[in-house]
Amino acid sequence: MVLVGLAGIVVWHVIPRRLSTTRLIVQIAFFLTMSVLLLDGAALPYEPTRSTETTASAILVGSAKLLWWVHLAWALIGFVRIYLVFERKPREARLLQDLVVGGVYVGMLLSILAFVFGAPIGTLIATSGVFAIVLGLALQNTLSDVFSGIALNLGRPYVLGDWIVLSDGTEGRVVETNWRSTHLLTLAHNVVALPNSFLAKLGLTNVSSPEESHGLSVTIRLAPTKMPAIVADVMNAALQSSNTILRQPPPVVAIKALDATAIEVDLFFRVANVGQRIPAKNEIFDLVYRHSKSAGLRLATPPSSAILMNDLPSEETGNLPEVTPIKLINAIPVFSALTDNEKAALAATVAVRTYRKGDIIARQGEMLPSLMIVRTGIIVRERGEDDAHAQEIDHLAPGDFFGETGLLAGIGETSTLRAMSHVVVYEIDQQSFAPLLLDRPEMAEDLAAVLSARVYLGGSNGAGQEHTDSKFALLKAMQTIFHPVPFRRGLSAGRPGAQEGR
């Protein structure tokens, strides 16, 4: 019997932990074998050892009983580890499993003391009461963390992977829970260990439940130079032109307050996950600024600033700034190296084009011979086999530009451009660009960098495919389009070891 029990212990440790079902079956087999052997020898494991037995016999029977209790405990633990699953999530039931396993080990120890060694368990438990009280006081904080951890796992206000925000401002993603603490991974990529007792006392918000998407709101204060309805339309256009926020549920614009100093507007929208909060807010603020400028709206002064009532702008006295071609050209980074005179000369050649809502500005693969700068409105980029099944790629807002791939490199548009609202664009053609590239060949390299990035992200069709994202190839294409404009400096910078001229 002793050899069978020892063999069971060896086999238990030899079988890998990942084969938990196999270990359980083997353990049950050894337990049943030992039970049959003990009963065949008239030795009941749940009865104290009889004093009439000889010393050698008592040692063997006691050892067999001890091993029998060990195998029983391990079989029960195997059942607990496999089948005690809290709502079919074994990792979330870990603390509950550990608690049951601890109870099994305590029961096994007490049974061995009672039925193998014949110890008076009742007296032992009674005399250890004082020690238990002292130990409980010493481990008060630890026990509080343990039971709080059990309560949190049973209540399940969060699970691993959820993003939670505590009432004291701490927030992060739950990466680990154990007996004593819960670990959060913060936005700064630091792991914060919070004691379970501390966590149980605080209010928390689980922003990952019931779904991963997260709602945000921003407040905008605008000078009352336009009717509130117009302000709401402009803010809605800013939200519709965003490439970061979710389309469903649709974003909402709410007029929060109106007085002589400002129209206060709340913008409500959702993002796919918590990690998109900062990029989404940054984009919304940028779009609000651009659409406000385009519509002639001013930002209001802060409420705390001291200003005389006579100095407040109104619809009659607002002196709203006009968005001119020169201002849009100043906002485009590739034109930053131009002098004021060159920018003014380029602005003088600008033509104005308008599109109605739903108009197709350019289809996928079509080459635009001009650079288009959005003055007002929203343009959506779509890709698909036909208009009915087109997929939205991104949006263009006031200040964005398109058509540069066709103008500079002869590449067709990588997506279909459609007006989502009434759109006004400023057009700059090849004849206006040629003198600039002749006088400033370094601008060709900057433009090639922008083109290569857009072609790489959006892909291209037809003749444009051969250019891919190669900056050098795009520079050569620009040289071909604007022949005989020489880009010697741009080409030498774009390829190591290239000679400047001959």
Q: Tell me the CA distances in angstroms from 226 to 222, 230, 233, 293, one per residue in order.
A: 9, 6, 11, 13
Question: Is the confidence at residue 265, as pLDDT, over 90?
Answer: yes
Q: What is the rounded distance in angstroms from the CA atom of residue 49 to the CA atom of residue 53?
A: 8
User: Is residue 443 pLDDT above 50, yes or no?
Assistant: yes
Q: What is the mean pLDDT of the chain?
A: 75
Write the pLDDT tens digit of every residue in 174-228.
Answer: 888 877 788 899 888 889 888 878 777 778 888 887 888 888 899 999 988 888 9
pLDDT of residue 135: 59
- Residue 465: the pLDDT is 42
Facing residues of 258 across strands? 263
- pLDDT tens across 296-321, in order? 888 888 877 655 455 555 554 555 55
Residue 232's pLDDT is 92
Q: Is 282 exposed, middle or buried (0-12, 13-18, 19+ CB in 10 A)?
A: exposed
Distance CA 82, CA 105 (A): 17
- DSSP string for 169-222: S-EEEEEEE-SSEEEEE-TTS-EEEEEHHHHHHS-EEETTSS-S-EEEEEEEEE
Residue 133 pLDDT > 80: no
pLDDT at residue 295, as a whole number: 84
pLDDT 10s digits, 34-70: 777 777 766 777 777 665 555 777 677 777 778 788 8
pLDDT at 329: 77
Dump pLDDT digits (tens) for 488-500: 433 333 433 333 3
Q: What is the pLDDT of residue 107?
A: 81
**Is residue 335 very low, low, confident or very high in pLDDT (cuts 50, 70, 90)?**
confident
User: What DSSP character marks residue 50?
Assistant: P
Phi, psi of 373 (to 5 degrees): -110, 125
Is the pLDDT at 109 greater than 50? The verdict is yes
Better pLDDT: 151 or 21: 21
Quote the pLDDT of residue 501: 39
Mean pLDDT of 353-367: 89
Provide the pLDDT confidence category of residue 236 given band limits of 50, 70 and 90: very high
Residue 132's pLDDT band, with cuts at 50, 70 and 90, is low
Quote the CA–CA distance of 291 and 377 in Å, as a whole number: 8
Least trusted range by pLDDT, from 22-26, 79-83, 371-375, 470-474? 470-474
Element (H, E) at 430: helix 430-439
DSSP codes joined into one string, 313-372: --TTT--PPP--HHHHHHHSGGGTTS-HHHHHHHHHT-EEEEE-TT-EEE-TTPPPSEEE
